[in-house]
Amino acid sequence: MPHQVSVFAENKPGKISRVTEILSQNNINIRAITISDSGDYGIIKLLVDKPAQGNECLKSEGIASTLKDIVAIKIDDSPGGLHKAASILASNNINVEDAYGFTIREKNQAVFVFQVEDVPLTEKLLKNAGFELLSDSELYLL
Amino acid sequence: MFYNNEIETLPRKELEKLQMTRLKKALEAAASTPYYRKLYSDMGINVSKITTFDHLQELPFTTKNDLRMSYPTGMVAVPISETVRMHASSGTTGKSTVIFYTRRDVDQWAEQVARAMYSTGARKEDILQNMMGYGLFTGGLGLHYGAEKLGCLVIPSAAGNSLRQIQLMQDFHPTIIHITPSYALHLVEVIKGQGIDPHSLGIKKAYFGAEPYSEATKDKLEQLWGVKAYNCYGLSEMNGPGVAFECAQQAGMHLAEDYYITEIIDPETGERLPDGTEGELVLTHINREAMPIIRYRTRDLTRIIPEPCGCGKTHRRIERIKGRSDDMIIVGGVNVFPSQIEAVIMNIPEVGNNYQIILDREEGLDRIHIKVELYSKLFKGDLKTLQKLNREIVEKLRALIIVTPRIEFMEPGSLPPSEGKAKRVFDNRVI
């Protein structure tokens, strides 16, 4: 299963740049970024090419960072593409805690990345429904 | 069994008799100083009539302000040529308070500290790394002389310069450290940051002093450092460290009762309270030639533990200082002690050691806002867990201090670490 780097950040100017500076200095490429905000503070979520290394270099700089298991699947970049996946999750009563997506222009495809409580179960359900699950390295090769 | 067996196990009756003999002498000496001479003559007090513990109540209190007003030598009972040392407390709110010591006073103070250290199990083979401030502040030199009297090697490293402190620990293997709790919290993180296991340093005991701190912090520090911690109480007006000190039982601090007469008073009314009741500690120094201070209001809140201690000392104990009658925060009419808040925070593993309490007034209402650092190793990576943790801290605090605080999570290391006395409370309320 793929991993996302989750970083705790105070809601203040300069907090993203501190993270991106460390990643850039360590030659780590960011595939996607999203921020969950909660007033005073938030969590910066990053899909990077080397998640374990990215997490370690942030931690060694004193940043509260952790690796989070996520589910990433390929979907068609066309109407109803996401709905097909979402309805499988709905019919199996799986709650999506946080999600984001991005498209891959050349291939007319998109990637749907999300957090759930039970990652292996969700992966199994989607796999059985014919979805292509992505690993850390596959995510980056897109 | 004790450093000074005879005195430390003196039966109560004899100890009280000794106190009265010394009180008589101290009052005579005090009455010879410009400050007390005028005060007692204005009030028509004849000190020779004060011969019992009950009579003592007829004398007025001495406050820090009185000490300032008599600056620099108004309470000194000997010619300055007879003194060998002075200490002064910081004068943040006006003139500082200055304390003088004769040679005998310095020696008696050292004996007091040596007794206290001995009771924690310290012996001449021990090595003390003394990370308390040296200079006008009594913390450093007080322990220094006491440890030397006991025969210990003293590393007078003073506060700050963490990397050098660690180097000294690695090279000279101190078995005891004397340090403020806030610096101890900071230093242990620096040690770990260097990839060193604090438990591997061979330190057995820690004396924490100079700041109020909670039992939870003490437990946390014992665990982090791998030491036994002994609470230590002192104030320069009453010599400095060693006024009261925990013994090996770690169950309250023994007062040096042949040095002081102890009273607990209601800080509002000034009335004396019975033993065992919590109130403000009032001390009369009966064993100092240069400055015999009478009924000094310490502003420290505690209670006398009347029961005898398992260690066998006859000198009574006081409980850990709960706070000062003047650092109490009043939030929306509720009395809150920073140490209460600290105790809650220290028991929550997900947050770090540093914290700040900020008081504001919004639309006429008091707001208490507490900043805590997230502990990076226990960061779970999602908002849901953080929000749950936030609610948990709010609930725990509300149960204790009644008012509902706002908890703000900060990034690790973002609150200023303190290498000395930490300023934890910021009161922005406009009166």
Query: Best interface-test mutation with A: which of B410, B411, B414 has the largest number of A CBs within 10 A?
Result: B411
pLDDT band of B420, cuts 50, 70, 90: low
pLDDT attached to residue B212? 65
CA distance B261 to B263: 7
pLDDT band (50, 70, 90) for residue B92: very low
Residue A99, SS3? strand
Residue in B192, B354, B356, B382 to test binding to A, most A beta-carbons within 10 Å: B382
Highest mean pLDDT among A17-26, B315-324, B329-338: A17-26
Residue B266 and residue B15: Cα distance in Å, rounded? 25
Say which residue, B402 or B424, is predicted with more confidence. B424
Distance CA B402, CA B343 (A): 15
Instruction: Name the more confident of B224 and A81.
Output: B224
Query: Both tokens of residue B250?
Result: 């770690």
pLDDT band at B333 (very low <50, low <70, confident <90, very high): low
Q: Do B381 and A40 touch (CB under 8 A)?
A: no
Q: Which helix (H) or strand (E) holds B244?
A: strand B240-246
- If we measure between CA atoms, which residue out of A53, A30, A28, A33 comes closest to residue A44? A33
In DSSP notation, B123-134 reads: -TT-EEEE-SPP
d(CA B339, CA B341): 5
Between residues A107 and B316, the one the model is more confident about: B316
What are the chain B neighbours of A8 within 8 Å (beta carbons)?
Answer: 374, 376, 379, 386, 409, 411
Contacting residues of B for A9, CB less than 8 Å apart: 411
| A93 interfacial to chain B (CB closer than 8 Å) | no
What would the mean pLDDT of B187-191 be, rounded to a whole number? 91
How many Cα atoms occupy the beta-carbon half-sphere of B200 within 13 Å?
9
For residue B418, pLDDT beyond 60: no
CB contact under 8 A, B412 and A62: yes
Query: What number is the average pLDDT over the span A106-132?
Result: 90
d(CA B356, CA B186): 15
How many helices (H) does chain A have, and how many strands (E)?
Answer: 5, 8
pLDDT at B278 over 50: yes
Calculate Rg over the CA atoms of chain B.
Answer: 22
Q: What is the pLDDT of residue B335?
A: 65
What single-letter amino acid sits at B321?
Answer: I
Q: How far is B29 from chain A (nearest CA, A)?
A: 58
Q: Cα separation of B230 and B207, whole Å?
A: 5
* pLDDT for residue B317 is more than 90: yes
Does A111 score more than 80 pLDDT? Answer: yes
Handedness of CA A115, A116, A121, A127 (dihedral sign): negative
Pick the range with the lowest mean pLDDT from A4-18, A120-134, B75-89, B331-345.
B331-345
B386/A64 CB distance under 8 A? no
For tokens 């000279």, the residue is B172
Residue B237 has pLDDT above 70, yes or no: yes
Alpha helices in B151-239 (DSSP H): 162-172, 181-193, 215-225
Residue B329 has pLDDT above 60, yes or no: yes
Residues in B whose CB is inside 8 Å of some CB of A read: 374-376, 379-384, 386-387, 408-414
| Closest by Cα among B324, B327, B279, B326 to B303 | B279
Split at pLDDT 50, 70, 90, the class of B90 is low
Check whether B336 has a pLDDT greater than 80: no
Q: Would you call B79 helix, strand, or coil by DSSP? A: coil
pLDDT > 70: percent of chain B: 94
On whether the CB atoms of residues B32 and B77 are closer than 8 A, the answer is yes
Could you tell me the pLDDT band of residue B364, with boundaries at 50, 70 and 90? low
Tell me if B383 and A68 make a contact (CB, 8 A cut-off): no
Radius of gyration of chain A (CA): 16
A71's tokens: 């589910």
pLDDT tens-digit map of A32-41: 899 988 888 8
The reply to whether A64 touches chain B by the CB within 8 Å rule is yes
Residue of chain B nearest A4, judged by CA positions: B381
Q: Which residue has the higher pLDDT, B428 or B152?
A: B152
- Cα distances (Å, whole numbers) of residue B143 to B113, B153, B179, B211, B242: 6, 12, 11, 16, 8
pLDDT of residue B210: 74
Residue contact A64–B387, C-beta within 8 A: no
Strongest mean pLDDT among A100-109, B103-112, B366-375, B388-397 = B103-112
At residue B270, the pLDDT reads 94
Instruction: Dump pLDDT digits (tens) for A55-79.
Output: 999 999 889 999 999 999 999 888 8
Query: Which residues of B325-405 form beta strands (DSSP E)?
Result: 329-331, 334-336, 351-362, 365-374
Amino acid at B220: K
Q: At B262, list the tokens.
A: 């102890």
Q: What is the mean pLDDT of chain B?
A: 90
Cα separation, B97 vs B65, in Å, equals 9
Least confident of A15-24, B167-176, B360-369: B360-369
Query: Regarding predicted confidence, which is higher, B331 or B20?
Result: B20
Per CB-CB distance under 8 Å, the chain B contacts of A98 are: 382-383
Q: Mean pLDDT over residues B135-162, rounded?
A: 94
Cβ–Cβ below 8 Å for A8 and B383 = no
Map residue A9 onto helix, strand or coil: strand
Determine what percent of chain B is predicted with pLDDT higher than 90: 67
Is B376's CB within 8 Å of A41's CB? Answer: no
Mean pLDDT of chain A: 90
**pLDDT of amino acid B159:** 82
Q: How would you class B405 by CB atoms within 10 Å of its CB: exposed for 0-12, middle for 13-18, buried for 19 or more?
A: buried
B411/A65 touch (CB, cutoff 8 Å), yes or no: no
The pLDDT value given to residue B81: 97
The mean pLDDT of B99-115, rounded to a whole number, is: 98
Out of A11-20, B220-229, B245-254, B339-348, least confident range: B339-348
CB atoms within 10 A of CB B255: 22
Q: How far is CA B247 from CA B206, B229, B381, in A?
A: 12, 10, 44
Question: Is A68 within 8 Å of B381 when comparing Cβ atoms?
Answer: yes
Query: Which residues are CB-neighbours of B381 under 8 A, at least 6 positions away?
Result: A6, A43, A66, A67, A68
Q: How far apart are CA B254 and CA B246, in angstroms?
A: 6
- Is the model's pLDDT at B393 over the cut of 70? yes
Q: What distances in angstroms separate CA B158 from CA A4, B129, B144, B161, B414, one per listed residue?
A: 46, 8, 10, 9, 25
More confident residue, B289 or A102: B289
Which DSSP state fits B96?
A: P
| Among the ranges given (B10-24, B202-216, B218-232), the one the predictor scored with the smallest mean pLDDT | B202-216
Per residue in B29-72, pLDDT (tens digit) is 999 999 999 999 999 999 999 999 999 999 999 998 899 889 99
pLDDT at residue B421 in the model:
57
Q: Which residue has the tokens 């900060």?
A: B410
Answer whether B186's CB lies under 8 Å from B418's CB.
yes
Q: Is A106 on the interface with B (CB under 8 A)?
A: no
| Cβ-contact B248, B120 below 8 angstroms | yes
What is the DSSP pairing of strand A71-76 with strand B365-374? unpaired
Backbone phi, then psi, for B91, in 5-degree steps? -105, 60
